Structure 1
Amino acid sequence: MVWGRPAVAGVAMVVSAVLVACSGPPGAAGGRQPRGGPNVLRVVGPFELHSLDPARSDGFFTRLRVAETLVDADGRGDLRPGLAAAWRVSDDQRAWTFSLRPDTVFHDGTKVTAETVAASLTNARGERGTPWGDAPVAAITANAGEVQVQLDRPYAPLPAVLAHAGTQVLAPASYNSDRTVKKVIGTGPYRVERIEQPSAIEVVAFEGWAGKKPDIERISYQAVGRAETRALMAESGQADVTLGIDPVSRQRVQRAAGVEIKSVTLPRTILLKVNAGHRVLGDLRVRQAVSAALDRKAMATALLRDPEMAATQFFPPSLSEWHQDSVPPLAHDPSQARELLAQAGWAPGPDGVLTRNGQRFEISLRTFPDRPELPVLATAVQAALKELGIRVNVQVGNSSEIPAGHKDGTLELGLYARNFALVPDPLVTLLNDYGPRGADWGAMGWSNAELARTLSDLADGTDAAAAAAGRQQVSGILQRELPVIPVAWYRQSAVVSDRVNGFTLDPLERSWLIDEVRWSS
């Protein structure tokens, strides 16, 4: 297949082949129909629950509105009260005080106090490698009915960190004697009734919720691994809300009766993680050539059915403060890619595969099917690099294989979608992903002192003009150095049954907003 702008039809053939391989009938593995009757909202998605620990539960219990965090955020990322009604910071920027929402109770009836909140946040600090675990916190205490967080140094994004799902506040009875989580007892409008890990969760409305009462009493969530199976369940009425619909299925499902497609652009980018410490990929010219080989517009058009999602830079337009119109856009230029590879010493071998000093240019690319567009995009990347003479072995496995490959050094390329709003302030994610040591879902074998210094200055707090200049500098460095290569931006879609009204998608993916859904009249 010849890759380029005329190759959209070829890309479509790739996506069709992969979807056939990944599809299956309802009832196939991971495709069990969710439990419930006519008064149960049936939610289906690709995500499995592998831990009850807030730091490792992928935000399940904030998305299901079971647990709350001290700070909340709206769809634009603006912070707002959560369990904390208000907060303030000391003049030296090292002490933050959070006043709690009055008369709040946990699902087991115990009262929310400054002491129980401080204890829950202290437990969550034990999980390193998380935004909260890595924050420069010296002490968490309760004083005069307020929660106080003392810092080792100024850290401007602290309130945003306390909106991360890993800081959700749980009741004392949630913990074993060793402080591990044995059950999820939160404060949200729904409480947990049943969990069957990793695939099923049922929640019911909490009678003690002081806010607006949810219209829907019971919700059943079912993990279904195959995108095609989820689409068939949406079409057949086996699900009321279906998350994680691939672009091809979306086009088919939107013609079905009794359903509606909801979509929202997310602060998420599909990235090609590169092992910059690799004997071949450590050469900037090679990373630039890989980037130039990608016809992002054709890939977004044929595979995502959305040409606007072609990623010309690291940050999507939905992150208006970080997206930079001033940076030169990443462009498809196969001629430049070949020239860069030649400069790096690579020349075509007898079978067309590039060689240098007797070494063939063969690398592996790991990805996973949890997000259904990833395997098809990986196949398109494979085809694009093949045209340059680079042989890529695509390995579709578990999402854990990318961080595992980062840790043991075996990862060469990894394709995944990175959410920059896991914490409402993207700075927190960047500090973790592009620090001196890199991170599972960030840089590998690469660091940049100027970038680290700029991120640190932003975290210390600065005026608006200096912050804007710092964000522009960060974007420029990532665009030039390509420790990860942007492939596509991201639009999330859900299929919603006409049994319900009022469902919307949260652009930050912090919540499924199910407490706002109503039964159709």
Structure 2
Amino acid sequence: MHQKFWLAALVAAVFASPVSALAQDELRVVEPFQLQRLDTQTGGFQLRANGVTETLVQTNPEAAVLPALAERWETSENGLKWTFYLRPDVTFHDGTAMTPEAVAASFKALLPSGNLIKNAKITDVVSGDGTVTFTLEQPFAPFLAYLLDPAVPVLAPSSFGQGGDVIGIVSTGPYRTESAELPQGLNLVRHDAYWGEVAKIERVRVDGVPNPETRVNIALAGEGDLVLEIPTTAVSRIDRSGETSIVKAPVPRVVMMMLNVKKPQFADVDVRRALSLAVNREAIARTIMGNAELAAAQYFPPAMKGWHFADFKPQNFNLAEANRILDELGWVRGADGIREKDGIKFAGMMRTFPQRAYLPVIAEALQAQLREIGFDLSIQVGESSLIPEAQNDGTLELGLGIRTMIYQVPDPVARLTTDFASDAPSTDATGATGWKSEAMRQAVAAYNRTSDPAERLPLQRQMAEILHDELPVIPITFTDEKYAISERLEGFVADPVMQTRPLNHLSFKE
């Protein structure tokens, strides 16, 4: 990694980014990812999080699925048909009525470009008298959760061109898009005819600022009302500034080291176990994340009841055991301290990205820690899209990324399906690279067939146990979310399942 060049680029980005004075009547949200296109497939989460788009259901802080644009629903006895009774008198942002025909047409247009919802295998969507009915290819118990795929919201007919392509985002949320200055930001205006709680603040400016130090400077200058993804190292500075305060919230997210198990140095599960034992998770969590309790001894965090298991053998730091395993497997140290076996160097290049400020720092910590067992880790920091590209073409050796377990769909099995039980190429950095488990695929399929929590629990344990034992990815640390909140703002409550930022609940202090 060219460290001097990287630092120079970082400094340049800090001073090049636009910083504007806060408008008295405008809420300014600063988030880490830029909206490249005004569409739902790539920008669906940002549009939903900022109150523009909605779908038939929503979630509460416990990830339970609740009514939204649909007041209620029912399922056929064979589980193949789901009928949703639409909320009456809902108005799109363009003033037209949300009719069953419009809802069905929206789903038909967007389903082909959906992300996670494809797993539900919807074969048809039809409108009825105040209803919309979905027909599935096979019973799919978590269907409600998959309806929250942000790539498939309910859009008005005016959102689509003659060929069915999305030409605008006209939905039903508490805010509507007024203009877009991509990739920098969005200008939103209150939707006065909103069916729910009408927003208290009339205008919102959403800025995508990938550089973490730039976001910190915005918070320190008091030029953002809600600034997301504040690095741990900046928390005390911001708290002392008097302009903003820090709100911390746990999130269901893991920082993980992805390994291409088709590479000879990672093919043996015992090698992967040795690499895991060489990671001092507590040191990383304490010094980089600011909380030793975030150390990730298994894939799912403790707060995820039914997915985290206290009786799993923890991945404790143990250099002696890691070196013993590698010695027994025949990985021999050379004069430079790096191991080798059968002409294969015990080494690899790790890709990561800078939008999450802690990732490059964790990569450097791993570089030092893994050298203690004779592994030569090099690091490349670049665009996050380079990781899935390398996964898909087979060139990835290692990746350091994050996984938010219920980021788009409030059921962890959605992520487990795409990451560990699918052969489909991905535009997102998935968990498994070159790894397959028939047992995992069967557990996912069985989970999808049943809605009984008692029947699901052993399947959840089985899925978590497979990841723990086979280590297709190595969990490093869990994370929390740190928000900088301006002194003039009130009413902010972090969503622990990260489905939305309820901007319509916010107000300015009198």
2:15 is aligned to: 28
SS in 1 for 2:241: coil
Q: Deviations for 1:177-207, whole angstroms, at most 9, x for unmatched residues?
A: 2222121111011110111111111101012
Query: Which residue among 442, 446, 453 is the counterpart of 1:453?
Result: 442
* Deviation, structure 1 residue 473: 1.1
Amino acid at match of 1:448: S
- Which one is further off, 132-141 or 98-107? 132-141
Q: Deviations for 1:44-84, whole angstroms, at most 9, x for unmatched residues?
A: 12111022221221511111101101110011101111111
Q: How many residue pairs end up in the alignment?
A: 504
CA contact 2:251–2:479 (8 Å) conserved in 1 = yes
2:372 is aligned to: 387
Amino acid at match of 2:272: R
SS in 2 for 1:203: strand
Alpha-carbon distance in structure 2 between the residues aligned to 1:207 and 1:158: 31
1:122 is aligned to: 108
1:428 is aligned to: 414
Task: Using the aligned pairs only, state the percent identity.
Answer: 33
Correspondence list, 1:234-273, <5 A? 234-273=219-258
1:4 is aligned to: none
* Deviation, structure 1 residue 474: 1.0
Alpha-carbon distance in structure 2 between the residues aligned to 1:305 and 1:27: 24
SS in 1 for 2:483: strand
CA contact 1:49–1:58 (8 Å) conserved in 2 = no
Amino acid at match of 1:162: L
Amino acid at match of 2:395: T
1:501 is aligned to: 490
Query: Which residue among 351, 358, 373 is the counterpart of 1:366?
Result: 351
2:120 is aligned to: 135
SS in 2 for 1:254: helix
Alpha-carbon distance in structure 2 between the residues aligned to 1:26 and 1:436: 38
* Deviation, structure 1 residue 98: 0.6
SS in 2 for 1:125: helix
* Deviation, structure 1 residue 164: 2.1
Amino acid at match of 2:11: G
Query: Which residue among 295, 300, 304 is the counterpart of 2:280?
Result: 295
Structure 2, unaligned stretches of length 5 or more? none
RMSD: 1.9
Amino acid at match of 2:85: S
- Which one is further off, 119-128 or 162-171? 119-128
Shift in alpha-carbon separation, 1:400–1:412, aligned structure 2, 3 A: same
Q: Deviations for 1:367-404, whole angstroms, at most 9, x for unmatched residues?
A: 10111111111111111111211111101000101110
Alpha-carbon distance in structure 2 between the residues aligned to 1:58 and 1:353: 45
Which TM-score applies when normalising by structure 1? 0.93
Query: Which residue among 168, 171, 174 is the counterpart of 2:159?
Result: 174
Correspondence list, 1:60-459, <5 A? 60-127=46-113, 130-421=115-406, 422-437=408-423, 440-459=429-448
Amino acid at match of 1:126: P
SS in 2 for 1:479: helix
* Deviation, structure 1 residue 26: 8.0
SS in 1 for 2:151: helix
* Deviation, structure 1 residue 437: 2.1
Alpha-carbon distance in structure 2 between the residues aligned to 1:343 and 1:167: 51
1:8 is aligned to: none
Alpha-carbon distance in structure 2 between the residues aligned to 1:502 and 1:372: 27
CA contact 1:26–1:232 (8 Å) conserved in 2 = no
Structure 1, unaligned stretches of length 5 or more? 1-15
* Deviation, structure 1 residue 344: 2.4
Query: Which residue among 466, 483, 490 is the counterpart of 2:472?
Result: 483
CA contact 2:187–2:206 (8 Å) conserved in 1 = yes
* Deviation, structure 1 residue 335: 1.0
CA contact 2:14–2:211 (8 Å) conserved in 1 = no
2:42 is aligned to: 56
1:519 is aligned to: 508
Alpha-carbon distance in structure 2 between the residues aligned to 1:464 and 1:43: 38
